[in-house]
Chains A and B, each alone.
Chain A
Amino acid sequence: MASNPTSPLENTILRSKIRENARDQRLECRAKAKDSLRIGLGQVKKEVAALESLDTKDVIGLAGRIKRRKHATSEDLCRLSLAFLQGNDNINAFAAIPGAIQVLVKELTGPHIQQQINAVECLCNLSLGEAHVSEKIASLAGSYMVTYLDGKEERLKRSCLWTLANILATCDKAGKILLQMQLVPKCWRLFNDSSGCQEDAGTCLFLIATHCLHHVSAEDRRYIADNLHSKNPKDSGSKYFMYIVHQLDIVGQDHELGAQQAECLLHFFEETLSTPVDSLGLIYGVRVMANLMALGDPKLIGRLADPQNFINALNQLFALRSSQLHSDLIRLLKNFLLLNILDSKLLLDSLNIYA
């Protein structure tokens, strides 16, 4: 006899599980495909045995040739890319030749997409160099790379984001130049977009929040505050969300937050409750919530205004017994009590804070 037919509810659960698995697999494949393109400085020699060795002489020769012709062919760009991957000496030798980077910029701004991609990948490898090289790239090619973030070609956008990330991680002055080119709003838009650049845009914003925080303008912060709600916790790169929001001081006295934005923050916070204790999202999620409560408006905290929900969330977090979280959780509790939603004695009696 055939087994019992499955109920519609079970069917739905099964289907959604299959869909979820397929989605995860797709994301994994995409990440692998992207990662296969990435490699660190000097690593190429170990990993690609058959690679021809290019030294500073070759680089100087190539740079001289592209300068004379005022044009670099795809092959020239490819050779230069490989040479830059092989060592910092090659990068320094190229950067020291006046007018050589300008040829790369010329190819970057040419009419053919493939040539633009080749040029930006070459610049990406060049950005593995030291601060003075990053500064040169930012001032000569930064405006074009930032412009291309609004374009259609995915690979070009991704390569631009990789280059920008390398620059942001290297040099504070170059980071300042890029931020003046409105990099923050452009990255935030890509971070929220459903395109494949969310993770890379998130990385750039993470690096801005870590290395160039003092260069972020009030307008940039305002832009993020206004467009806070467009990010979904299920999107890739959302692990950086709470860190960026906290470090850029989005929830503070300087910005008025609407109900929609506060709702988005709550949604993210609820999602992070199930993440590992040392995750960036959880640590900074608690801080963002503490700041949201410090704004003093009970309407903004939505479901957490219900004492039972708040107590449950807090007990769940205290149960993690994390020393990193403890002081922030106490601050969160204090800010909640100052909202005067409930008698503090009643609330404290229901809390389970480990000694």
Chain B
Amino acid sequence: MDSEAAPSEFLSTEQILKILSETPAGFIKATDPPSPILPPFKKLGVLVEIDEIVGIQDKPAKISDSRDKEQSYSCAECRRMLPTAHLLDLHITEQHDFYFAASVDRGDKPMFSCFLEECTTKFHTPRQRKDHCIIVHKFPANYRFDQGNEKPKEKRHPKHKPNSMEVDELPAETKSFPYIKAFSFGHQTHRTFYTRKDHKAGETLDDVQTMKDAINDILD
């Protein structure tokens, strides 16, 4: 009986085709009706117990220190503790990596990564990064984990003349003429002037003088 009645329960092919012709094809958008009823979300707080907190406070400092160390990322060089692996990575490269410092000094490419791991933008200076984080990511201006604040290099070279015109000041070492290797253009380098050790020229001159003195002595 049931098997005979069952087919009448279902739509025929023609009926399905009719429904299909009335149905649009393509993507269903997030805003398309009907919107089912969503599970309700109730805002909840946290019930803290004073006894529990006071109990934790009473724990010896050693235990809480070891917990702090375990649960954060610390720098092996300066013992600074940071909350995430990415921030520690930034700290190590920016504070303790000489190759990074040299690359920053060269200034040919941006080296400072954003504080947010997922943001791939890089910057030439910590200042640019800070501005980016404030404007784009809405970070506070005094972001606590900002590595750029503690660069000692800038402190070492204070400007002596605050009112003077802005000029690109070179460090003291670069002001003296560097050793320039003599170009050979296919010829042997010993044909060029020997510019490497100027003080040796003096020595040679002294030798000539002593030779002259010696000749004079002989002639006398």
A-to-B contact residues, CB < 8 Å: 36-41, 44, 48, 74-75, 77-79, 81-82, 84-85, 109, 111-114, 118, 121, 124-125, 127-128, 139-140, 142-144, 146-148, 150-153, 156, 159, 162, 165-166, 169-170, 177, 180-182, 185-186, 203, 206-207, 210, 213, 223, 246-249, 251-253, 278, 280, 283, 287, 290-291, 294, 324, 327-328, 330-331, 333-335, 337-338, 345, 348-349, 351-355
- Is the CB–CB distance between B41 and A113 below 8 Å? no
User: CB-CB < 8 A to B50: which residues of A?
Assistant: 75, 78-79, 82
Which of A111, A186, A335 sits near B25, CB closer than 8 Å? Answer: A335
- Is the CB–CB distance between A38 and B84 below 8 Å? no
User: CB-CB < 8 A to A75: which residues of B?
Assistant: 50, 53-54, 57
Known: A114-B67, A142-B138. A185 touches B118 (CB 8 A): yes
A-B contact pairs, 30 of them (CB 8 A): A37-B46, A38-B46, A40-B44, A75-B57, A77-B53, A78-B48, A78-B49, A78-B53, A81-B46, A85-B45, A113-B64, A118-B53, A124-B45, A124-B46, A128-B45, A139-B138, A150-B84, A151-B72, A162-B44, A166-B45, A177-B138, A181-B116, A249-B30, A280-B38, A290-B28, A294-B27, A324-B34, A349-B13, A354-B9, A355-B10
- Is the CB–CB distance between B30 and A140 below 8 Å? no
User: CB-CB < 8 A to B85: which residues of A?
Assistant: 150
Cα A159 to Cα B44 in complex, Å, equals 11
Cα A324 to Cα B32 in complex, Å, equals 13
Cα A44 to Cα B49 in complex, Å, equals 12
User: CB-CB < 8 A to A140: which residues of B?
Assistant: 140
Other CB < 8 Å A-B pairs besides A152-B72, A186-B118, 14 of them? A38-B44, A38-B46, A41-B43, A74-B57, A78-B49, A82-B48, A85-B45, A109-B144, A147-B145, A150-B117, A181-B116, A280-B36, A290-B28, A334-B24
- Is the CB–CB distance between A335 and B26 below 8 Å? yes
Cα A112 to Cα B139 in complex, Å, equals 22
Which of B42, B67, B116 sits near A113, CB closer than 8 Å? Answer: B67
User: CB-CB < 8 A to B57: which residues of A?
Assistant: 74-75
Count: A-B pairs, CB below 8 Å: 195
- Determine whether B131 belongs to the interface, using a CB cutoff of 8 Å to chain A: no
B-to-A contact residues, CB < 8 Å: 8-11, 13, 15-17, 19-20, 23-30, 34, 36, 38-39, 41-50, 53-54, 56-57, 64, 67-68, 70-73, 81, 83-87, 115-119, 136-140, 143-145
Measured CB to CB, the nearest residue on chain A to B52 is A78
Measured CB to CB, the nearest residue on chain A to B30 is A247
**Nearest CB in chain B: distance from A48 CB, A:** 7
Known: A74-B56, A151-B72, A294-B25. A180 touches B43 (CB 8 A): no
**Nearest CB in chain B: distance from A69 CB, A:** 16
- Is the CB–CB distance between B34 and A253 below 8 Å? no
User: CB-CB < 8 A to A251: which residues of B?
Assistant: 27
- Is the CB–CB distance between B46 and A246 below 8 Å? no
Which of A36, A150, A181 sits near B83, CB closer than 8 Å? Answer: A150
Which of A113, A150, A334 sits near B68, CB closer than 8 Å? Answer: A113
- Is the CB–CB distance between A81 and B48 below 8 Å? yes
**Nearest CB in chain A: distance from B24 CB, A:** 7
- Is the CB–CB distance between A85 and B47 below 8 Å? yes
**Nearest CB in chain B: distance from A248 CB, A:** 8
- Is the CB–CB distance between A121 and B48 below 8 Å? yes
- Is the CB–CB distance between B138 and A337 below 8 Å? no
Cα A294 to Cα B27 in complex, Å, equals 6
User: CB-CB < 8 A to A109: which residues of B?
Assistant: 144-145
